[in-house]
Structure 1
Amino acid sequence: MEPVRIDEVVMATAGSLTAGKPELVITGVGVDSRSISPGELFVAIKGKRMNGHQFVADAVRRGAVAILVSEPVPLPADAPVAVVQVADTREALLDLARWYRSRLKPRVVAITGSNGKTTTKELLAGLLKSRFTVVKARGSYNNDIGVPLTVLAMDRTTQIGIFEIEMNELGGTKKLARICQPEIGIITNVGDTHLEYMGDRMGVAQEKNELVEMLPETGLAILNYDDSLVMKMSRAGCRIRTFGLNPGAEVSAFNIRDLGLSGTQFQLLGKYPVHLSFPGKHNISNFLAAAAAANELGLSWQEISQNAGTLVLPTQRLTVKNLSTITLIDDSFNANPQSMQAALEVLANSTAREFRLAVLGDMLELGGRSAELHRQVGEFAGRIVGRLITVGTLAQLISEGAETAGLPADRIRHYHSSGEVGEELFDFIKPGDTILVKGSRAMAMERITQLIVRFYGEKTD
């Protein structure tokens, strides 16, 4: 972050300085007191479970030189910090980021879609890092807190900023696009996500299309040719480039070879050889989206082909771990019906059916279609796996769907939560198994992957 004076923070947020000196300078912004560094501004966010105002003292102890608050906080009279009072700290963070973004001139890419946002972001950053100074969203920093924090992490040396946007209400994507101001927008796909809020896929598509609508007339929309709802998106005057596995896409893959858990091989545009070291045909699509953006930003197709071999997936996204007597596919970060099916297809291509074990948790925010979609995933799994473990109240319907598809009941086990899973799990696992673990973020499926890794240990040659 470029140095910013407190009086500039006051101006940008329409706040008032209730303590401290206006000429004080901040060198960073944070919302988690545990990770505040000396010289930073701590923004006290009120959340559903936590109120950041309770952690102001901790932030000051860790070196915060200024705090942004919406309610009084107890501080010693001689505390060497500036205090900026605003009506709403969450909105003030957005206002500060919008003002700060206007001072910088990076090229900006924003990515949205039901699946593949974080993976596409990481692949794009990996392709670009040898040529450009890149700032990317950390982890899944994709909401009205993560996007402004990523903006504030840029400085005058930043050549390219890569953002991901995920909102569950109409107008949300547009709001965040105003903050990061992208010139390139990528729509990965439209699936059954946030149906609890968006109603149906048409509602999801409408929300994703807001990114295209917010691009400048000189901008570029990179659209998934394989997704009919994405291909209906447009903005007058904005250029469009398509990607996809369909050979009709402008950026496509030819002569695809699926190497199972060792990845995939194909020819980019039918000319340039690519070997991705991670599994899944859906990840070819994510790569093609990233490649289309990288080419627009100045990389040649030859450079993209060469850099592809260095790319890796984010953690908990089809992370393959070779343990002592089994193989673990850790896809535990999140789940929806389409990503569940994609992960199960990876499992299907990994080994013989008798050695395929899927551990699947609830998929959340699916609204009125939740029961139907859980059963559909179960039916799909029941035709693929040799054994199945389900975790969560809704996942019981996955078990039912699998049994309907013909998977014997004695090959299905159910738990109410990931915390309930104990060492009896290992009676259900046999040597040589390949185990897929996947579920929605709130299901904490990583507890199960950690249990498996501790029990089996890393493979030694």
Structure 2
Amino acid sequence: MISTSLSHLADVLGGRLVVHGGDTPDTLVSGLVDTDSRLIEPGGIFVAKPGETTDGHLFVGTAIQQGAALAIVERELDERVSQIVVPDSVAALSALARDVVARVRAEGRLKIVGITGSNGKTTTKNLLARILEDDGVTVAPRASFNNEVGAPLTMLRITDATRYLVSEFGASAPGAIAHLAGLVTPDIGVVLMVGMAHAGGFGGIESTFHAKSELVRATREGGLAVLNADDPRVAAMEPLARERGQGVRWFGRGERAEVRAVDVEVSASGTRADLLVDGQEYTLTLRVLGEHHVMNALAAIAAATALGVPAADAIARLETVEIAERWRMQPLGSERVRIINDAYNASPDSMAAALRTLAQITGPHERTVAVLGAMSELGEYADEEHDRVGLLAVRLRIQRIVVIGPEARRMYLEAIAQGSWDGEAVFFPDADAAYDYLATELRDGDRVLVKSSNSAGLRHLGDRLGELFA
């Protein structure tokens, strides 16, 4: 974080300053900000956040041992560290991020890109950050830091030397993206797709559209909206952009897109695509598995070239990326038994894309195995969407369908109903039981997809299988 006096911080946060030791209101702090006391470094700022299962105030002592210079708290504590007492520590985190970003931006060098979408946010964020980091100091979220805590923590990592801030915005509820993007007012807003992810929390696909469009509304006037030309709901955001005087830059597979993939070939080693970028021809060889990641790459190229990065440079940098993120189409195991661990997140769209990738990369003498868990946050649509996944797995001729957990059982029942009645589909109540089965069932030539939402916990099963067949 940029250097800031304790008194300024107290004013920004609307809090009461309690100094300790040799500190005064003019004492400067500039360390990293975090809500995890274990990650605090000397000079850092610890935000004591109440949680569902514990309370950050219990760990202020640990933060002090780690070297914290300041604690942002909701009640004054008898601890040997300066404190700013605020009504709401999470709201204070947002206020601090807004102030820091505005002060760095006022110097004129910082460019901000915001990314949202039902799927692909983290992959696109990582791809864009890889492109930009060769041009200047780039700050981007760790993992999926895209909520009311993670997004501000990322913003607070910027310094006076930062040239690019790439922010990922998730939507836990209507208004969430508007709030987070409003902290930084991006120069470029990237909208990837509007799908069924989180539809249960929003009340349907149209409500999801309105939530995702909040990023366009929050992008600065005269900025740029980078939109998916192939998704009708994303394309329908164009008038919102025009109302704010924003330019629109399209990416996709269709002729409307200025950044376009015209031919795509998928293999077990990655994806090759012929591209047109503003009328110029290029070839992209992406090592990240899955045809669907081509769209994420197109979005990253569209944003990067809008920031002045030559298309050839952007493509060359993308070709150095080996995986999008841990637990996202992550190749594990060996050539003998290849495990694809994609169990950090799942929605109907990403589940379908992963299953299609499994079918595409499996050779004629190899066997497809799909290890599937529940998709979360679908609400009233959960039964129907889990049925669709079971049906799709059968239609793609997945040769072994392993369904895990009661929340995912309908995938198994639908697979059985659609023709997988001769042992092709099996069900297990938990990951341990499935591991015992797979440890003896998997054989040379198997290509295994492990796919579920994070809450199902199958990412750890994928890791175990990867180690077993390494």
Measured against the shorter chain, the TM-score band is over 0.9
Partner in structure 2 of residue 223 of structure 1? 227
Report whether the alignment pairs 1:285 with 2:295. yes
Larger deviation, residues 369-378 vs 253-262? 253-262
Specify which of 191, 213, 224 is matched with residue 209 of structure 1: 213
Superposition deviation, residue 394 in structure 1: 1.9
1:84-118 C-alpha deviation (Å, 9 max, x unpaired): 11101010111111111110121000000000001
1:443 counterpart letter in structure 2: A
Structure-2 change in CA distance of 1:12 and 1:420 (3 Å): farther
Partner in structure 2 of residue 262 of structure 1? 270
Consecutive unaligned residues of structure 1, counting only runs of 5 or more, are none
Report whether the alignment pairs 1:423 with 2:436. yes
Report whether the alignment pairs 1:12 with 2:22. no
C-alpha separation in 2, matches of 1:37 and 1:420? 41
The answer to whether the 8 A contact 2:273-2:294 is kept is: no
Report whether the alignment pairs 1:23 with 2:23. no
Larger deviation, residues 29-38 vs 319-328? 319-328
1:406 counterpart letter in structure 2: G
Partner in structure 2 of residue 391 of structure 1? 404
Superposition deviation, residue 414 in structure 1: 1.6
Task: Percent identity, please.
Answer: 33
2:28 counterpart letter in structure 1: V
1:60-82 C-alpha deviation (Å, 9 max, x unpaired): 1111111111124342xxx2x10
2:303 counterpart letter in structure 1: A
Superposition deviation, residue 348 in structure 1: 0.3
Partner in structure 2 of residue 401 of structure 1? 414
The answer to whether the 8 A contact 1:243-1:289 is kept is: yes
TM-score normalised per structure 2: 0.93
Report whether the alignment pairs 1:382 with 2:394. yes
1:121-167 C-alpha deviation (Å, 9 max, x unpaired): 11111112222211111111101111111111001111110000002
Aligned length: 453
1:209-263 C-alpha deviation (Å, 9 max, x unpaired): 0110111221000000110011111231111111001232121012322234432
Report whether the alignment pairs 1:276 with 2:279. no
C-alpha separation in 1, matches of 2:330 and 2:464? 16
Partner in structure 2 of residue 447 of structure 1? 460
The answer to whether the 8 A contact 2:328-2:343 is kept is: yes
The answer to whether the 8 A contact 1:261-1:346 is kept is: no
C-alpha separation in 2, matches of 1:205 and 1:126? 28
1:326-360 C-alpha deviation (Å, 9 max, x unpaired): 00111111101100000001100121476100111
C-alpha separation in 1, matches of 2:286 and 2:463? 26
Partner in structure 1 of residue 259 of structure 2? 251
Match of 2:265, SS? strand
Superposition deviation, residue 191 in structure 1: 0.5
The answer to whether the 8 A contact 1:252-1:288 is kept is: yes
C-alpha separation in 2, matches of 1:284 and 1:150? 26
1:32-431 mapped onto 2 (5 Å cutoff): 32-75=36-79, 79=80, 81-105=81-105, 106-233=110-237, 234-235=240-241, 236=243, 237-269=245-277, 271-312=281-322, 313-323=324-334, 325-352=336-363, 355-384=367-396, 385-431=398-444
2:138 counterpart letter in structure 1: V
C-alpha separation in 2, matches of 1:101 and 1:54? 29
1:453 counterpart letter in structure 2: G
Match of 1:271, SS? strand
1:257-315 C-alpha deviation (Å, 9 max, x unpaired): 22344322323336112111122221111000000000011111222233232123211
2:248 counterpart letter in structure 1: I
Structure-2 change in CA distance of 1:300 and 1:454 (3 Å): closer
Match of 1:314, SS? coil
Match of 2:77, SS? coil
C-alpha separation in 1, matches of 2:72 and 2:422? 56
Match of 1:410, SS? coil
TM-score normalised per structure 1: 0.95
2:200 counterpart letter in structure 1: E
Consecutive unaligned residues of structure 2, counting only runs of 5 or more, are none
C-alpha separation in 2, matches of 1:34 and 1:414? 39
C-alpha separation in 1, matches of 2:433 and 2:77? 40
Match of 1:103, SS? helix
Superposition deviation, residue 54 in structure 1: 1.2
Larger deviation, residues 446-455 vs 261-270? 261-270
1:182 counterpart letter in structure 2: P
Q: CA RMSD in A?
A: 1.6
Match of 1:229, SS? helix
C-alpha separation in 2, matches of 1:247 and 1:143? 35
C-alpha separation in 2, matches of 1:420 and 1:48? 30
